[in-house]
Amino acid sequence: MTTIRPLRFIRRGQRVQLDHVAPDRTLLEVLREDLAATGTKEGCGEGDCGACTVVLGSAQEGQVRYEAVNACIRLAHSIDGMALWTVEDLMADPLIQPEAGAGTRAGDLHPVQQALVDSHATQCGFCTPGFAMSLFGMYQNHVCQGRPITREMAVRELSGNLCRCTGYRPILDAATRLPELPPLRVDEPALLQKLELLAHDGRALEADSAYNAPATLADLLAARAAQPQAQLVAGCTDVGLWITKGHKRFAQVLDVTRAQELRQLHARPDGVLTIGAAVTLTDAFAALVARWPQLARFAERFAGLPVRNSGTLGGNVANGSPIGDSMPLLIALGAQVELASTRGSRRLPLEDLYTGYRTSVMQPHELLAFIHVPPPVAGQQLAAYKVSKRFDDDISAVCLVLNLQLQEDGTVAAARIGAGGVAATPARARAAEAALVGQPWSQAAAERAAAALQAEFSPISDMRASGAYRRAVLGALVQRFWRETQGGPQPVCLDQLTAEVLA
């Protein structure tokens, strides 16, 4: 018989314990319905608008890590053992204290609030709590670390917050003004002590709990074998929508994110980057960008920051959506996935994981444990493209990643191309690759590869784009890749136009 373990977290410097919280209730539901924290708003219910943004704090290597997340699709039990801040807490948390001689005192507006007031950065106010909390996360991660907030940084980190009436200029003004205001800081030593005491109360949710979050991979695999009917969750950025939009209910939930082995990210002696399934998208993309700096803009366009802070790379891959952006990238990079169970583990190329629309070769007793990404190689030309209706925080109509290895004479020694949005699964474009390998990398080769790519897939028409448009985009992106590898002129990007408008 399963039980429901109490949910425990730190808020306003105090331990909060809630009993009888169902395993599939969202954090937003608990905040608004159980704690009367109605400052946190429900807008879209799917992690797109950011009105529900809150900030979580967790102890990592002796420091507090602050992450802005969407409360609407985050399961409440996933924050067990963490610290939580909502918009109501900016003035009510006794752990947020002024610095000596700073000219501020307890009870003053938080710099985030003062900056929004000074910059006239709110109108109807519905989105403002979410913006305030995203700004609070920025404040803790940048200003409190002695780093300035540039306009470009603010545009990137606020991409998950949408506003219908104010316009973004005054909100960005508020963000860049934060370092100028008298500081208020979280008393991190005191908070770390409280988090440690909370951790001693139970490092993982019990195995017989309706919400089970094992602390080790061995325990997680045992739970998977014993409860194959339990809904697997990681960051819940997709499963959360099944609850809020599909009205699905889950009596048992198995959370992979507490297993320590799956939270690790490390480079092996042979250069292969091993990413645990519970590593967040934020951290996973940071590691990939460190190896391939040209992926930076692509990584920033993978949803908004609150989604990347919650979502995991392993969850995105295991989900198998044909419009998931990480899979085409990983396919092009030659990544392998490792599936694990109590019976052992097995590896396979990522492109061989999927058998159809959101179906895979994984058995009910298995789960995706690790992703292994080969290192960069000499002569590598790599580019990742995302085409969507909205530049920020939108789902791809087409995602295409091209990875060529060129010999010194310009011949294509190897090619890997990953495509999304053009088939029932994320796909490897083998025909287009075959048109390139062994050929000189030239405009003619690019044209042949573009034609092969267009013939290889028959994309459907849907709300995001027509099939004809998708095929045309596939060909155009190969041509763009050719021009970029030759140092040709770059097309004007939407983010460049946005930056000019906001300047």
Q: What is the pLDDT of residue 1?
A: 52
- Give the largest CA-CA distance in the chain: 69
Of 22-26, 76-80, 445-449, 484-488, the least confident:
484-488
Q: What is the pLDDT of residue 375?
A: 97
The rounded distance, in Å, linking the Cα atoms of 54 and 86 is 5
Percent of the chain at pLDDT exceeding 90: 88
The rounded distance, in Å, linking the Cα atoms of 170 and 167 is 7
- What sign does the dihedral 282-288-293-295 (CA atoms) show? negative
Q: Is the pLDDT of residue 223 over 50?
A: yes
| Mean predicted confidence (pLDDT) in 271-281 | 98
The rounded distance, in Å, linking the Cα atoms of 190 and 363 is 45
Given a contact cutoff of 8 angstroms between Cβ atoms, the answer to whether 234 and 275 are in contact is no
Tokens of 256: 């992979």
pLDDT in tens, 322-377: 999 999 999 999 999 999 999 999 999 999 999 999 999 999 999 999 999 999 99
Q: How confident is the model at residue 101 (pLDDT cuts 50, 70, 90)?
A: low
Amino acid at 308: R
| Mean predicted confidence (pLDDT) in 70-91 | 97
440-445 long-range contacts (CB < 8 A, ≥24 apart) are 440/409, 440/410, 440/411, 440/412, 441/381, 441/404, 441/406, 441/410, 441/411, 441/412, 441/482, 441/485, 442/410, 443/482, 445/412
CA distances from residue 34 to 10, 29, 31, 45, 190 in whole angstroms, order as listed: 15, 8, 6, 18, 26
Instruction: Give the up-direction half-sphere exposure of residue 240: CA atoms within 13 A in the CB hemisphere.
Output: 27
Stretch (H or E) spanning 14? strand 14-18
The rounded distance, in Å, linking the Cα atoms of 197 and 183 is 28
The rounded distance, in Å, linking the Cα atoms of 419 and 454 is 11
| Mean predicted confidence (pLDDT) in 467-493 | 86
The rounded distance, in Å, linking the Cα atoms of 259 and 277 is 10
CA distances from residue 324 to 203, 287, 410 in whole angstroms, order as listed: 33, 19, 32
Average pLDDT, the chain: 93
Q: How confident is the model at residue 167 (pLDDT cuts 50, 70, 90)?
A: confident
- What sign does the dihedral 126-130-136-139 (CA atoms) show? negative
For residues 162, 318, 356, 366, the Cα torsion angle rounded to the nearest 10 degrees is -150
The single-letter DSSP state of residue 356 is: E
The rounded distance, in Å, linking the Cα atoms of 474 and 454 is 6
Q: What is the pLDDT of residue 405?
A: 98
Q: What is the pLDDT of residue 103?
A: 63
Q: Cα-atom radius of gyration of the chain, to the nearest Å? A: 23
Amino acid at 331: I
| Mean predicted confidence (pLDDT) in 444-473 | 95
Q: Is the pLDDT of residue 191 over 50?
A: yes
pLDDT in tens, 228-240: 999 999 999 999 9
Question: Which comes out higher in pLDDT, residue 483 or 2?
Answer: 483
Q: What is the pLDDT of residue 495?
A: 42
pLDDT in tens, 365-391: 999 999 999 999 999 999 999 999 888
| Mean predicted confidence (pLDDT) in 403-432 | 97
| Mean predicted confidence (pLDDT) in 400-429 | 97
Domains identified in the chain and CATH numbers:
7-91+195-260 (3.10.20.30), 96-186 (1.10.150.120), 264-495 (3.30.390.50)
| Mean predicted confidence (pLDDT) in 77-96 | 96
| Mean predicted confidence (pLDDT) in 63-78 | 97
| Mean predicted confidence (pLDDT) in 259-281 | 97
Counted residue by residue, the chain has a size of 503
CA distances from residue 302 to 265, 271, 486 in whole angstroms, order as listed: 19, 25, 27
Q: What is the pLDDT of residue 496?
A: 41
- Ordered DSSP codes for 391-425: SSS---SEEEEEEEEE-TTSBEEEEEEEEESSSSS
Helical spans, DSSP H, in 238-387: 239-244, 281-291, 296-300, 305-310, 313-319, 326-332
Burial annotation 327-352 (CB, 10 A radius, 16+ → b, else e): bbbbbbbbbbbbbbbeeeeeeeebbe
